[in-house]
């Protein structure tokens, strides 16, 4: 069997523009990536998804509630490497804007946090789990993403180092 990099793409709270960038990148790289990537989890691409046995998980967005934090921990357990994708995942902003609200505004939105089971504080990915890499940018910087992907294609023996 030809070795492919087993990857998953996950989006938490955000506008998902890095996902759009990734999909746009596929327009040019579809046949190249088809032979290199085994995309096991990407809800934007398919209905049947599995996060088991991933080599690399790409995680976009900030973590706004305990259920998402638990899911992120599951991803960490199932993936050998985790890469935070885009500013919201890497440093929380702009998705974490409500963390910076003054006390009176926090008070004003508190009923919404309760109603939608949201945590008091929005967290970046590395506040919940350890990460191996990050791709900055809002949305993500394409050339940095390609460098990170290339690094793992080599590390996992999919292409020659
Ligand atoms: S980093 Fe920017 S582009 Fe990416 S999800 Fe957040 S707001 Fe959207």
For the segment 102-153, what is each residue's pLDDT rounded down to a tens digit? 999 999 999 999 999 999 999 999 999 999 999 999 999 999 999 999 999 9
What separation in Å is there between the alpha carbon of 13 and the centre of ligand 1?
9
- Separation between Cα atoms, residue 99 and residue 130, nearest integer Å: 21
Mean of pLDDT over the chain: 96
> Residue 93: CB within 6 Å of ligand 1?
no
> Residue 15: CB within 6 Å of ligand 1?
yes
> Residue 92: CB within 6 Å of ligand 1?
no
The total number of residues written for the chain in this structure: 161
User: Taking 70 as the threshold, does the pLDDT of residue 95 lie above it?
Assistant: yes
Q: Give the global pTM.
A: 0.96
- Average pLDDT over every residue of 57-66: 97
> Residue 95: CB within 6 Å of ligand 1?
yes
> Residue 14: CB within 6 Å of ligand 1?
yes
Higher pLDDT, 2 or 23: 23
Report which protein residue has its CA nearest ligand 1's atom 4. Answer: 139
What's the confidence (pLDDT) of residue 7?
A: 98
Q: What domains, with CATH codes, occur in the chain?
A: 5-151 (3.40.50.700)
């Amino acid at each position: 069997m030809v070795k492919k990099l087993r990857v998953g793409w996950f989006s938490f709270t955000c506008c998902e523009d890095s996902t759009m960038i990734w999909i746009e990148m596929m327009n040019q790289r579809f046949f190249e990536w088809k032979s290199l990537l085994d995309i096991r989890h990407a809800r934007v691409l398919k209905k049947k998804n599995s996060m088991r046995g991933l080599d690399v998980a790409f995680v976009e967005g900030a973590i706004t509630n305990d259920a998402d934090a638990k899911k992120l921990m599951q991803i960490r357990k199932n993936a050998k490497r985790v890469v935070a994708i885009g500013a919201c995942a890497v440093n929380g902003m702009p998705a974490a804007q409500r963390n910076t609200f003054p006390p009176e505004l926090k008070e004003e939105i508190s009923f919404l946090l309760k109603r939608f089971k949201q945590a008091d504080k929005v967290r970046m990915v590395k506040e919940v789990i350890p990460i191996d890499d990050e791709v900055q940018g809002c949305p993500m910087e394409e050339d940095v993403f390609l460098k990170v992907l290339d690094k793992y294609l080599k590390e996992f023996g999919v292409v020659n180092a």
